[in-house]
Chain A
Amino acid sequence: MRTRPAARAGQYAALLAYLAFLAFPFLWLLSTAFKSPRELGSLHPAWIPRHPTLGNFRQAFDQQPLLHAALNSLLVALGAAVIAVVLATPMAYVMARHRSPLSRAATGWVVVSQAFPFVLVIIPLFLVLKHLRLIDSLAGLGMVYAVWTLPFALWMLVGYVRAVPGELEEAAAVDGAGRLRTLVSVTAPLLAPGIAATALFAFVTAWNEFFFALVLLKSPDKQTLPVVLTHFIGAEGVADLGPLAAAASLATLPSLLVFALIQRRITGGLLAGAVKS
């Protein structure tokens, strides 16, 4: 289709405005992270730090147990990802290959779970976990994350299983392979990339999550990175801006990296989950 030059110019102007709106807070965060205390105190903040420093990063690690919190987050997120995938894969297989009331109910649950007001769940969850002696424990939080990423993980995995042609499994069965053998040697290798994408998705979700962690973890040495980040903001809302920006930038890196890897797959899964079923 032909587009007139004026229209084209307008399109580029709109696109540039969009890019600026998208990028400017992020660039400001990075800029703040590298500013010296003096420059942060100046009344005319500049976009590019005149004397860039790594001092804020050092100070961030001094002020809050960032490394420890990151380790907590890593443990919880890895645990949640592994548990979610291990639990969801068999069920997703059944849902994909057999239409049954159960798989319809599970599909419905996927939609409903996206709509959950966590506030209704958090109080009972708090009481249940307390009963199981899993309150204030990373294991407890990891389990909660695993279960709360399950619906979406199921959804993604069902799609991946359906994409593996059933004929391949039948062919293996004709060749005399048992059910388990077929699954392990034919289906599993084809599913591996999908399982990996699902695990990464669960990882990012858990790495970023704040509400459950805020409520369920009490001791300072158990807290995850998002919770510890909020400690940089004092009770009065007064923050040490440099270290705050430095810590916040660091906390984003893992999820950005992972997300860059799986973004396309998530878009597909999200849409499929929302539109079809």
Chain B
Amino acid sequence: MTSVAEASRPAGRAAGGGAGGAAGRGAWFLVLPALIPILVLSVGPLLYGILLAFTDAQSGRTAGTRWIGALNFRDLWHDTLFWESFRIGLVWAVGVTVPQFLLALGLALLLDQELRLRPLARALAIVPWAMPEVVVAIMWRLVYNPDAGVLNETLRDLGLGHGRDWLSGLATALPAVIVVGVWAGMPQTTVALLAGLQNTPRELHEAASVDGAGAWRRFRTVTWPALRPVALAVTALNLIWNVNSFALVYVLTSGGPGGKTRLPMLFAYEEAFRYGQFGYAAAMGCVLVAVVSILLAVFLAGRLRGGEDA
């Protein structure tokens, strides 16, 4: 890992004591330029959003907005469409995160070996990562295209069926977008895990190997304990990002067919900006925040525990 933090820890501590006092008073002037925009454009809106969830705010009628207590949440509770999208969001987030992690772990272990194609693999890994999500989605629309797409053509060549419209099929749409999600996030996860692997001391492997430990035992006793904090962090972040994802599925299917890929984010977007139900959509946002907070808490707790083990 060409980590920034790695090099910095000791230096930071060394510097902390010395350069103190004098800058202490000026510090506020250095902090305010960043602090004020953050307060106005992110902390503020977050709090405002939570407030909105308890009102009947609608677009174009902000003046007469009334406080309606938990009514939005009660409506959400009874909204079968919302629960359907919640369920889809869950399937999507887990369905993307788990294969992504397993594939990425396998690849990272592979790329940790001395293989000839490694530089090519690393270079290629940048591509999905750097692409705008919209382009990733467009690209896969071309792959899935029923007539001119490469997927159906390949299946035809192999004699397996003919011309399925993957993104419009009620049964195939969600798996199809999940594949895209896995594809889009896998390289990033691989690179992160690889960096974690390369941080574990080689000598441990060699010692274990000399002791006659097989590949699986080496993985379980040496590799995994060292990799665990990175793996945990990466998985938690991926899960959170996937809960919050929007662009990929919006461009691939717009939530269709028949709402089968309508993730919670898409649902909330439609409520807010198609139907103008700001308060209701904000309540939905609150539910998502709660879900993400739980994930975050689990992640932080796990990280602390990991720290004690080390």
Contact = CB atoms under 8 A, between A and B. Distances in A.
A232 B141 CA distance: 12
Contacts of A61: none
Q: How large is the interface on A (under 10, 10 to 19, 20 to 34, 35 or more residues)?
A: 35 or more
A109 B128 CA distance: 27
Contacts of A113: 42
A207 B115 CA distance: 34
Interface in A123-173: 123-125, 127-128, 143-144, 146-148, 150, 154, 156, 159-167, 169-170, 173
Interface in A9-59: 11-12, 14-16, 18-19, 21-26, 28-29, 32, 40-45, 47
B237 interface: yes
B208 to A, nearest CB: 10
Contacts of A26: 127-128, 139
Given A18-B107, A148-B42, A166-B16, A210 B27 contact: no
B93 interface: no
A44 B4 contact: no
A237 B166 CA distance: 13
A189 interface: no
A233 B34 contact: no
B281 A123 contact: yes
Given A1-B205, A98-B20, A271-B3, A120 B288 contact: yes
Contacts of A43: 147
Interface string A250-277: 0110011011100111011111101110
Contacts of A123: 49, 52, 57, 272, 278, 281-282, 285
A273 to B, nearest CB: 8
Contacts of B153: 44-45
B45 A167 contact: no
Interface residues of B, number: 122
A218 to B, nearest CB: 11
B129 A259 contact: yes
B281 A116 contact: no
**Main DSSP-derived SS at the B contact region:** helix
Contacts, number: 358
B160 interface: no
Contact of B16 (A25, A99, A112, A211): A99
A119 B247 contact: no
Given A22-B128, A114-B237, A248-B139, A271 B195 contact: yes
A184 interface: no
Nearest to B23: A179
Nearest to A113: B42
B48 A124 contact: yes
Given A16-B117, A226-B134, A251-B135, A267 B191 contact: yes
Given A118-B246, A211-B246, 14 more contacts: A11-B113, A24-B150, A119-B246, A119-B268, A162-B5, A162-B9, A162-B15, A166-B15, A210-B133, A248-B135, A252-B130, A252-B131, A260-B130, A271-B230
Interface of A: 1, 3, 11-12, 14-16, 18-19, 21-26, 28-29, 32, 40-45, 47, 86-88, 90-91, 93-94, 96-100, 102, 109, 111-125, 127-128, 143-144, 146-148, 150, 154, 156, 159-167, 169-170, 173, 179, 194, 204, 207-211, 215, 225-226, 229-230, 232-233, 237, 239, 241, 244-245, 248-249, 251-252, 255-256, 258-260, 263-265, 267-272, 274-276
Interface of B: 1-9, 11-12, 14-16, 18-20, 22-24, 26-27, 29-31, 33-35, 37-38, 40-42, 44-46, 48-50, 52, 57, 62, 106-107, 110-111, 113, 115, 117, 120-121, 123-135, 138-143, 145, 147-150, 153, 156, 168, 183, 187-188, 191-192, 195-196, 205-206, 209, 229-230, 233-234, 237, 240-241, 243-244, 246-247, 250-251, 254, 264-265, 268-269, 272-273, 278, 281-282, 284-286, 288-289, 292-293, 295-296, 300, 303
A-B pairs, top 9 by smallest CB distance, nearest first, are A166-B15, A159-B4, A120-B285, A162-B8, A259-B130, A272-B5, A90-B30, A162-B12, A124-B48
